[in-house]
Structure 1
Amino acid sequence: MKHFKFLMIALLFVLAACGDSSGSEAKKNDDKADAGKWEEIKEAGELVVGTSGTLFAASYYPEGSDKLTGYDAEVIREIAKRLDLNVTFETIGIDGLLAAVNSNRIDVAINDIEITDERKKQFAFTDPYKYSFTSLIVRSDDLSGIETLEDLKGKKAGGGATTVFSDIARHFGAEVVTYSNVSNDVYLQDVNNGRTDTVINDYYLQKLALKAITRFDIKIHPDIKFHPTEQGIVVHKDATKLVQKMNQALQEMRDDGTLTELAKKFYGGEDVSKQPEAEIREIKELDL
């Protein structure tokens, strides 16, 4: 009997050892796959970044300049610098950015892109580098006939076909008027002339757009603040090592004040790297 017990214990030990070995080997393989994108980028010494180049103040070309800048552009430049990488930008319309990440045409996308549960099923995101909420641009004289979000029903909202903002517009019964990769003034002009009734978008971006473009009789709706948001850098789903490296750089930037400095520079003194203090309506019934 003792001999039988000894054999059983020995067998269990062998099985346990085999289990540990295979599990360890599987983990090594997973780690290798996770690190693959990062190793590829590190070897090339270059991070290929997709962004629209038309979104003031996140990603844009200043008048008379061919150098891309903006909060998002400078955040990713600083991250790359801390990771000892060069940056190459590819300008892609907002509706094509996620597909470009998925197809590995670009390494990452940054363009004020909201982190949502639905998107996290297909992509990885860094920690947020920006916090905000959503607002409406409307005509000044009558607020485009919109007193609540429910009044969007039957209205026309200008926006990109695949954005969260357009999803919100459709949810409340608005017709979305889509555009290609155009600049802010086109959206604002159409609200002003009545082609559309509103533009739903990020509050801080809208505030800056109106400050920069003053020739239209439009404004941010004074009574409607909704859908708090977090923006992150979009990465391929399997590139977990790259996300880890970028998050480390982001945390360093947060700790040493670089992120706050960049935020205030491009957002008129507002620190968008911190959550806003405002009463903001959540749209819980909308699955994003």
Structure 2
Amino acid sequence: MKKIILFISFIAVMVMLAACGGTDINEKQASSKNAEKWNEIQEKGTIVAGTSGTLIAASTYDDNEELTGYDVEIMREVANRLGLDIKFEILGIDSMLPAIESGRIDVAVNDIEITDNRKEQFAFSEPYKYSYTTMVVREADNSGIKSLEDLEGKRAGGGATTIFSQIAEHFGAEVVTYGNAPNEAYLRDVHNGNTDVIVNDYYLSKFGVGAFPEFDIHLHPDLKFHPTEQAVVMDKDAETLQQKINETLSEMREDGTLSELAVKFYQEDASQKPEGEIEEIEGARLIRCDHKWEIFLM
């Protein structure tokens, strides 16, 4: 009996020691993992960035078929200041976050919005762009939309996992998805009536509409909602990389580079918060479910 009691006491002591030392071990493992991604990138000398190449002004191809845009040039400058080469992987928006998780890419830059729930899964840099959400509708009748509630029964073009599509879907729209299609496909469908609306970022929508003056489309004149912040996305544990990128973005903000690039591509300083009243979607909360972002009202 004494032997059994001694054995149980020994096990209890071992469990207590493990528990006491567990915090230190976990902290060391976390610290090692935090630095791992940055060390890996430094060893390669190259940072791999996912982007779509299909977003006018943010990530697109110029007349010489060179990849450019606000997000692209920001990431190029960040890599340059960090002494790294950069390689862009062209991906559909629905593939970018899974590509970070799998390690296929190091970061994603594609006008991706910061949300509290995304931050539970990924690390974000400080914002490099501030914006809000609006709608592209037919100019003749605003596609019959006067409010967010009028999205009920409409057909909204968008990516399956974007927050914009989730907002449209929440208010009753049927979301029509396109994969990694160019802006023209989305905009043409609103023009010809295949869809009714595109819920999207103000700046991207403005330039999309401006690029196709022959289409019967415009920005909704009355609806400005869901203020947004866009940033570089990376692995949740890549804290050293996050710190390096944040330091570089801070330098670029202070020396005017962010403002200069924003005005170049958007003709407005998208690196600063927009002025004016922007409607919040009451109680909106975005959560991740089966690799998809869904919006719920709390």
Give TM-score, length-normalised by structure 1.
0.90
Structure 1 residue 276 corresponds to structure 2 residue 274: yes
Q: Which runs of 5+ in 2 are unaligned?
A: 1-18, 287-298
Q: Write the distance in 2 (CA, Å) between the matches of 1:247 and 1:126.
A: 6
Q: Distance in 1 between matches of 2:48 and 2:60?
A: 17
Q: Distance in 2 between matches of 1:25 and 1:154?
A: 54
Provide runs of 4+ in structure 1 moved above 3 Å: 19-29
Please report how far the alpha carbon of residue 254 of structure 1 lies from its aligned counterpart in structure 2 after TM superposition.
0.3
- How many Å separate the matches in 1 of 2:98 and 2:269? 30
Corresponding position: 1:256 with 2:255: yes
Give SS of 2:285's match.
coil
Q: How far apart in 2 are the matches of 1:121 and 1:175?
A: 28
Contact persistence 1:171–1:286 (CA under 8 A): no
The whole-number CA distance in structure 1 between the counterparts of 2:23 and 2:217 is 61
Corresponding residue of 1:12: none
Counterpart-to-counterpart distance in 2, 1:200 and 1:23: 46
Amino acid at match of 1:144: S
Percent sequence identity over aligned pairs: 59
Cα drift, residue 24 of structure 1 = 5.8
Quote the residue 2:3 is aligned against. Answer: none
Assess if the C-alpha contact under 8 Å between 1:35 and 1:239 holds in 2.
Answer: yes
Q: Which residue of 2 aligns with 1:199?
A: 198
State the alpha-carbon separation in 1 of the partners of residues 233 and 23 from structure 2: 30
Counterpart check, 1:163 vs 2:123: no
Q: Deviations over 1:19-43 (max 9, x none)?
A: 9998666544422211110011011
Distance in 2 of aligned mates of 1:278 and 1:43: 46
Structure 1 residues not aligned, in runs of 5+: 1-18
SS in 1 for 2:241: helix
Q: Deviations over 1:58-106 (max 9, x none)?
A: 001113x232100000000000011100000110001101110110000
Aligned length: 269
Q: Distance in 1 between matches of 2:143 and 2:246?
A: 42
Does the 8 Å contact 1:79/1:246 carry over to 2?
yes
The amino acid of 1:278's aligned partner reads: G
Match in the other structure for 2:295: none
Residue in 1 that maps onto 2:8: none
TM-score normalised by length of structure 2? 0.87
**Structure 2 residue identity aligned to 1:54:** T
Root-mean-square deviation (Å): 1.6
1:1-288 equivalence runs, <5 A: 27-63=27-63, 65-268=64-267, 270-288=268-286
- Listed one character per residue, the Cα deviations across residues 91-146 of structure 1 (whole Å, up to 9, x for unaligned) are 00011011101100000001000011121111111110100000001111111000
Q: Could you say what secondary structure the match of 1:49 adopts?
A: strand
- Structure 1, 117-126 or 148-157: larger mean CA deviation: 117-126
CA distance in 2, matches of 1:262, 1:225: 24
**Aligned residue type for 1:45:** G
